[in-house]
Chains A and B, each alone.
Chain A
Amino acid sequence: MAVVDHAEAQARGTEPATGGNVLDVRDLRMRYGTKDVLTGVNFTAHPGEVVALLGPNGAGKTTTIEILEGFRMRSAGEVSVLGIDPAHGDENWRARLGVVLQSWRDHGKWKVRELLQHLGLYYAPYSTDRITRPWDADELVAAVGLTEHADKKISRLSGGQRRRLDVAIGIVGRPELLFLDEPTAGFDPEARREFHDLVHKLADADTTILLTTHDLDEAEKLADRILILAGGAIIADGSADELARKMSTEAEVKWTVDGQRFVHSTTDATEFVRQLFSEHDDQLSDLEVRRASLEDTYMAMVRQFESGKQEDAVREFEVVTR
């Protein structure tokens, strides 16, 4: 696997990272004053993978992503982004990254296409045989669905359009790795769907993506792998499916016999139902088996986390997912 990743990384014109990982984070710690925000974060990402960093507000998602972007110095731990420590990342390294910022009102007097063309100028010298930089402004405007607004002043864009422009700016240099911090905060459902399509397109083009979100639904839709960050560490790591299966320890079984309704909780629903059938056979009706969903478990953890019982929340969640 590592060999394949290595070859792939070279084929895409990147320098091979250690073990073929685009991201490699080991025991990352961050302390503000006396408050430990990150107490030992560990994770990796392969080339082309879409990873969602999921967690309640205040869990340290933004801190983590800003350390990886090279915008914030860490307190301790080892971090490698595209094979380079972001604390010492040079402009060469920066040219291979895309950062989608939470924007506000910068460049309000610029026009959409004009700004994309301008920012593209900085990436032109970093073009390689495999990756042509920058992304052509017209194509890029079309890719994010802003063609009809290409000559509009940026200050006149709506919130959703503005966000799509932010993404366009993030990918104008055709990054090998893209960071998206809370990309859909404040989106309406329509804008959210369009944004998801855009992320899928980028992922298809082999861009590695790390996004943060506090929305499980979004993480499930977008990511190959979900990392749940809470209490300063990654407490769960896997695909949405894997996490759901891990958490499905308890299930609720409901059935009816002789017009009477029964409910029972069990850790082995299959075995329990088998017994029900052998006992009641065709008298059994209205059978329902419902597993606690990933969402139920996650939401319970978030509620506890936000009510201030952070340690309890993380401990309980870990027990469930073990």
Chain B
Amino acid sequence: MTPTSAAVRAGFARGRAEIRQTLTNSQDLWNYLFPTLIFLVVMFFMRDSTVPGTTFSLGSRTLPSVIGMGIAFGGLVTLMMSLAVEREDGTLLRAKAVPNGMLGYLIGKIVTVSGMTVVAQTFVLIPSLFMLDGISMDWFTLIWVLALGLVATLPLGAVAGSLFSNPRNSGLIMLPVMGLVAISGIFYPISAMPEWVQGVAQVFPIYWLGLGMRSAMLPDGLSAVEIGESWRHLETLGVLGAWAVAGLVVAPMVLRRMARRESGSSVAERREKAMQRVT
């Protein structure tokens, strides 16, 4: 076995171990379940309203959008947070002290975040299928949008996580992400937004993840209320693909730069600061 393949295998083992640890830890599990509960309640109350101009349930229309948003959050925010935290607590430095440890660490992180994102979205999906009417699943589309969505957002999350040295500051990036959610047609149809706002939203992956998921779960007729009155699969592929490529080019550079600066004293320094905040 070569050192690289050993590290890749160790990375997958690491991801499995971390998923298991998350699923057996009530605090972590609650962190995943709590937003799910909120969304389920919201969709429950929306189920009798209809999409404007149709007789289709607004709750059912919201479900795929929420799942698309959940994937974007998983890739962006979860990875960013755990990178920032694990940089501060020395996990990353430990990975650096082990041969090919950074490779294993990153693979582990990707497996953990992807795995937990899928688990969390399943939590949303399964009860919704019983609760909501009119969902027609196209599993093939669901899987490629999910996979491409993760590949598009994970590198961005890694870059963001590398830029913040203090995990408490990383909350700052939540504001623009929430702003994007608001304009990306997740809860409110994007076609009702001013055109320039639509333009901004269509640059970022959140809109396309929502659209892609809607195309996977809603009847074809509903594409009529989307921009261009179409599911625009080709454009979805194009925009998410472009983010994926850009991210995969930039992320390793940013990660390498960040990892290079990690040393025992930089971890000790952050610990000192964190301790001061605690006391």
Which chain A residues have a beta carbon within 8 Å of chain B's beta carbons? Answer: 62-63, 65-66, 69, 71-72, 91-92, 94-95, 97, 99, 101-107, 109-110, 114, 118-119, 121-126, 169, 173, 181
Chain B residues with CB under 8 A of A95: 3, 99
Q: B76-107 toward A: CB 8 Å interface, digit per residue (1/0)? A: 00000000001001110110111111001000
Counted as pairs of residues, one from A and one from B, with CB atoms less than 8 Å apart, the total is 95
Least distance between B95 CB and chain A CB atoms (Å): 9
**Do B263 and A71 have beta carbons less than 8 Å apart?**
yes
Closest chain A residue to B275, Cβ basis = A104
Compute how far the CA of A121 lies from the CA of B98 in the bound complex, rounded to whole angstroms: 10
Stretch of B4-12, B35-43, B205-213 on the interface side: B4-12
Q: B29-57 toward A: CB 8 Å interface, digit per residue (1/0)? A: 00000000000000000000000000000
**Do B98 and A119 have beta carbons less than 8 Å apart?**
yes
Is residue B279 contacting chain A, with contact meaning CB distance below 8 A?
A: no
Listed by A's residue number, 21 A-B pairs whose Cβ atoms lie within 8 Å are A62-B265, A65-B264, A69-B263, A72-B263, A91-B99, A95-B3, A99-B97, A102-B267, A106-B89, A106-B90, A110-B21, A118-B17, A121-B9, A121-B13, A122-B3, A122-B98, A122-B104, A123-B99, A124-B1, A125-B3, A169-B94
Least distance between A298 CB and chain B CB atoms (Å): 24
Chain A residues with CB under 8 A of B265: 62-63, 66
**Do B93 and A101 have beta carbons less than 8 Å apart?**
yes
Which chain B residues have a beta carbon within 8 Å of chain A's beta carbons? Answer: 1-3, 6-7, 9-10, 13-14, 17-18, 21, 25, 86, 89-91, 93-94, 96-101, 104, 262-265, 267-268, 271
Closest chain B residue to A73, Cβ basis = B260
Closest chain A residue to B21, Cβ basis = A109
Least distance between A38 CB and chain B CB atoms (Å): 14
Closest chain B residue to A172, Cβ basis = B98
User: Is the contact region of chain B dominated by helix, strand, or loop, or is it mixed?
Assistant: helix
Chain A residues with CB under 8 A of B7: 121-122
**CB-contact partner of B271 in A69, A104, A173, under 8 A:** A104
Beyond A92-B3, A119-B98, list 13 extra A-B contacts (CB 8 Å). A63-B265, A66-B263, A66-B264, A91-B99, A94-B97, A101-B264, A109-B18, A114-B17, A121-B6, A122-B7, A122-B100, A125-B2, A173-B99
Closest chain B residue to A123, Cβ basis = B99
Least distance between A74 CB and chain B CB atoms (Å): 13
**CB-contact partner of A118 in B13, B89, B90, under 8 A:** B13
Chain B CB count within 10 A is highest, among A95, A104, A105, for A104
**Do A122 and B99 have beta carbons less than 8 Å apart?**
yes
**Do A107 and B94 have beta carbons less than 8 Å apart?**
yes
**Do B9 and A106 have beta carbons less than 8 Å apart?**
no
Chain A residues with CB under 8 A of B101: 119, 122
